[in-house]
Structures are given as C-alpha cells and as structure tokens.
C-alpha cells in the first residue's frame, strides 16, 4: 500500500483488523462503542500516516489497538467508580436515628443551613429532590448543589476520622 487509497477503501480493507482487535481486547459486550473507537483510531491513522516513516498497516494496527485498550481501561475505571454495591442497596433495613439526635450530630460536620435542610429532608422525611425543591421553592439544581456540598463535607469528615484512628 504505497499510495493510500480513499478512506472508504481503507475502511473496507482494515475492518477485519478492528473486529479482531475488539475480540482480542475483550470488548464484545460494548461492541458498537468499541467499533466506533476503532473507526476513529483508523481515521486518525489515515490522517497522520507518513509513508516515509513506515508501513501503513503497522501504523494502523498500533493506533487501533492503543485506542481500544485506552477505551477499555476508561470503561473499567468508570464502572468501578460508579457502580452500586450491595451495602448501598440494603439501606432500607437500617432504622434512622431520632431527629433530635441527628440534628445534634450534624453540628460537628460544619454543614450550612441549606445542606442540613437537604439532609434532614431526605433522611427524616424521605423526600425526593423534586419534593424538596417544591417545599423550599427553589430549583432542583439548587437542591442538588446542597446535596453535593453536604456529601463532600460528610466524606471529608469521614476521611479525617479514619486518618486520626489510624495514628
């Protein structure tokens, strides 16, 4: 392949390479997404190929394989970070503490008034984001912001507590 042909001809010639690489990388579950990533990598190889520096099939194979492995690594990381574990699914069996006890314990976390409102509304009253926004006459995005702030502060306190216990 001294002269590169049109991209359509390159796709026809290298489609088996993309499919084989998808199987080799173990991406059959997300086949369509992986195939698109392979096509993007092939396009990048087609555009960046310099005939003076080497052979196109080797260049294309390296880019396709690298792009698909990067895609696999990112998907794995995403799935590990954002998957529910069994302890998060079994929260219905846990009885919440009394409201006065919860209110006293919230003082130690440095939550703002709105973050406390969100926390108490969710855990005490069992309200959804939409219901909280209607109760306080604010948008749902505002309630989500309260949630983010509260969760961030609670996580920070949890990490500090674990750190101090390890000393």
Nearest to 33 by CA among 87, 96, 78: 78
pLDDT in tens, 26-72: 887 888 888 888 899 889 988 888 888 888 888 888 888 898 888 88
Q: Give the pTM.
A: 0.47
Chain CA centroid to CA 74, Å: 9
CB contact at 8 A, 43 and 6: no
Task: State the average pLDDT for the chain.
Answer: 78
What is the C-alpha separation between 122 and 145, in angstroms, rounded? 14
- Judged against a pLDDT cut of 80, whether residue 19 lies above it is answered with yes
Residue 165 is predicted with a pLDDT of: 52
pLDDT, position 1:
41
**What token pair was written down for 88?**
């998060």
The DSSP-derived string for the chain is --S---HHHHHHHHHHHHHHHHHHHT--TTHHHHHHHHHHHHHHHHHH--TTT--HHHHHHHHHHHHHHHHHHHHHHHHHHSPPPHHHHTGGGSPPPPHHHHHHHHGGGT--HHHHHHHHHHHTS---HHHHHHHHT--HHHHHHHHHHHHHHHHHHHHHHHHHHH-
Please, what is the end-to-end C-alpha distance for the chain in angstroms? 65
Reading the block at residue 156, the tokens are: 């920070």
Residue 95: what pLDDT?
56
- Distances in Å between the Cα of 53 and the Cα atoms of 49, 61, 62, 70 are 8, 15, 14, 24
- Please report the sign of the dihedral spanned by the C-alpha atoms of residue 33, residue 35, residue 37, residue 39: negative
């Amino acid at each position: 392949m001294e002269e590169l042909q049109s991209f359509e001809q390159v796709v026809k010639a290298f489609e088996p390479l993309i499919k084989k690489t998808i199987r080799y990388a173990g991406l059959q579950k997300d086949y369509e997404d992986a195939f698109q990533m392979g096509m993007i990598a092939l396009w990048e190889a087609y555009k960046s190929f310099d005939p003076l520096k080497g052979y196109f099939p080797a260049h294309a194979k390296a880019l396709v394989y690298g792009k698909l492995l990067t895609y696999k690594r990112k998907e794995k990381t995403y799935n590990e970070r954002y998957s529910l574990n069994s302890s998060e699914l079994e929260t219905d069996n846990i009885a919440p503490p009394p409201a006065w006890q919860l209110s006293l314990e919230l003082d130690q976390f440095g939550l703002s008034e709105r973050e406390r409102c969100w926390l108490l509304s969710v855990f005490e009253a069992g309200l959804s984001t939409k219901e909280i926004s209607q109760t306080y006459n604010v948008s749902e995005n505002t309630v989500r912001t309260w949630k983010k702030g509260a969760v961030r502060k609670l996580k920070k306190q949890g990490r500090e507590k674990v750190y101090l216990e390890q000393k």
